[in-house]
Amino acid sequence: MLLRHTPTEIKERKSLVVNPAKTCQPIGAMYAALGIKGCLPHSHGSQGCCAYHRSMLTRHYKEPVSAATSSFTEGASVFGGQANLIQAINNIFTVYEPEVIAVHTTCLSETIGDDLKQIVTKATKDGKIPEGKTVFGAPTPSYVGSHVTGFSNMVKAMAQLAEPSSEKNGKVNIIPGWVEPCDMEEIKRLCTMIGVDTTMFPDTSGVLNGPLSGEYKMFPDGGVTIKELKEAGQATGTIALGEWCSADAARWLDSKHKVPCTVLDMPFGLKATDRFIDVLRTVAGVSIPDTISYERGQLVDLISDMHQYFYGKKVAIFGDPDQLISMVEFLRSIDMCPVYVVTGTPGKKFEKRIKELTSDMPYECKVKAKGDMFLMHQWIKNEPVDLLMGNSYGKYIARDEDIPFLRWGFPITDRQGHQYFPTVGYKGGLRLLEKILGLLLDRKDRDSPEETFELVL
């Protein structure tokens, strides 16, 4: 038993988090910043944060993750980080030649009160930022929210690069939220099929799922350009996928530049994808092409083929709010029962939404925002489930409790290929179904006595 000290009896904990279902803001900001073309993310703090964030992102995406740090030592922590950041900006532009530096703060620089805007203004005045290059930043204190908050803050900072203009360019801003690079690719494919001209930000496709060719490009070809971000205010509208990840940026563009926004759930599963496609249709003013209806029909077909295995199966799932909301809806739509749902990211709205989505279940769903995996494990110990879904850390619970385990979310450090196989849209739905059924039937095969071990299932 790997988690042998986890007791079945649940006692309330007020101060000790055990096995968190979240991490800190800057890693989200770093991931988002990688979705800008020619951008070097910069961590304003001591170098451990940057090392940890790069390591974790690299372990998940299996791709180079370049990012610089202000390398605070005690002096900077006492006297402020301005000198470090200005020196860093100069060195970065000289040595790495990025188009843009996206700075995010850490708990260290936030606590000492460094003001990014003021420092960037000073760097500009001092001539440390070459002509045509961009430096911008987002505050991402680690002691507020979670990695999701940091992602959202950096995306909002991207939106704030939009320049005032009375012109419209006919494009639609798509804010995809924290999804895999292949998911962003898939969302763009759907938009292209429908005929919607988009600006997607951030866009890590081509950045964190790039080819192996014997050449190393610190700044790969993918990513949204600064020019596109500057023109984001000229868009016809914004579609933000995920309340937690994307809504802030979309609403800011709406209020500041009068770009009307629609906040949708992330398009995981049938219904959320339906809503996304339907909104795209409205935005573009077109009829949905048959190819999309065909893909949808294939997903429905697979659900109908498989639902006998899914019906009533209990699922425990942990992860980030936006992903969980759509996934819980999807699980319900295939008649599975998400009985335990945990996120580490705070937000009362989350609990309410999950309760609504699971209100027709035969069991009551236990849901916790600002929860941890220790608590979820205790729930499972008290009443077991048929499937566990979440990031790689779930494998310890899965092994101890002997539960089939689907890796989905961030970070996945012990399986490969998730940067290439989307789980959004109808195609992504097919993949999720295949994976879930594979796990359930592998278990059935494993547990069947010889006399009921069958070729046809």
Among positions 179-238, residues that touch other proteins (CB under 8 A) are 210, 212-218
51 binds other proteins per the rule CB under 8 A? yes
x/- binding map, residues 383-422, to other proteins, per CB under 8 A?
Answer: ----------x--x----------------x---------
Residue owning tokens 């065909």: 294
**How large is the angle between the packed helices 147-159 and 243-257, nearest 10 degrees?**
20
Cβ-in-10-Å burial (0-12, 13-18, 19+) of 449 comes to exposed
Stretch near other proteins under the rule CB under 8 A, chosen from 44-52, 227-235, 285-293, 319-327 = 44-52
The residue from 24, 283, 299, 334 that contacts other proteins (CB under 8 A) is 24
**Does residue 232 contact residue 261 with C-beta atoms inside 8 Å?**
no
Binding residues among 338-357 for other proteins as defined by CB under 8 A = 344
Q: Which is closer to other proteins, CB of 64 or CB of 206? A: 64
Distances from the Cα of 235 to the Cα of 49, 168, 248, 253, angstroms = 36, 6, 17, 10
Minimum gap (Å) between residue 30 Cβ and other proteins:
11
Stretch near other proteins under the rule CB under 8 A, chosen from 49-57, 251-259, 315-323, 422-430 = 49-57
Residue 262's DSSP bridge partners are 239
Q: Which is closer to other proteins, CB of 309 or CB of 396? A: 396
The two three-digit tokens of residue 24, written as one number: 């800190």
Q: How many positions of this chain bind other proteins (CB under 8 A)?
A: 85
Binding residues among 68-127 for other proteins as defined by CB under 8 A = 68-77, 84-85, 87-92, 94-96, 106-108, 111-112
143 binds other proteins per the rule CB under 8 A? yes
Minimum gap (Å) between residue 253 Cβ and other proteins:
27
Stretch near other proteins under the rule CB under 8 A, chosen from 61-69, 153-161, 179-187, 237-245 = 61-69
Instruction: Tell me how crowded residue 56 is: count the other CB atoms within 10 A of its CB.
Output: 19
Q: Which is closer to other proteins, CB of 63 or CB of 335? A: 63
Residue length, the chain? 457
**How large is the angle between the packed helices 425-447 and 270-284, nearest 10 degrees?**
170
DSSP conformational letter for 97: -
Q: Which is closer to other proteins, CB of 76 or CB of 232? A: 76
Q: Which is closer to other proteins, CB of 317 or CB of 397? A: 397
Would you give the distance in Å from CA 354 to the centre of its chain?
18
Type of residue numbered 33? A
The residue from 49, 235, 280, 385 that contacts other proteins (CB under 8 A) is 49
CA distance 363 to 222: 45
26 binds other proteins per the rule CB under 8 A? yes
Minimum gap (Å) between residue 101 Cβ and other proteins:
9
Minimum gap (Å) between residue 54 Cβ and other proteins:
5
2 binds other proteins per the rule CB under 8 A? yes
**Does residue 392 contact residue 407 with C-beta atoms inside 8 Å?**
yes
Q: Which is closer to other proteins, CB of 230 or CB of 395? A: 395
Residue 341's DSSP bridge partners are 317, 367
Would you give the distance in Å from CA 145 to the centre of its chain?
14
Q: Which is closer to other proteins, CB of 74 or CB of 451? A: 74
CA distance 292 to 429: 13
Minimum gap (Å) between residue 69 Cβ and other proteins:
7
Q: Which is closer to other proteins, CB of 82 or CB of 262? A: 82
Strands (E), 159-210: 172-175, 198-200
Residue 231's SS3 state is coil
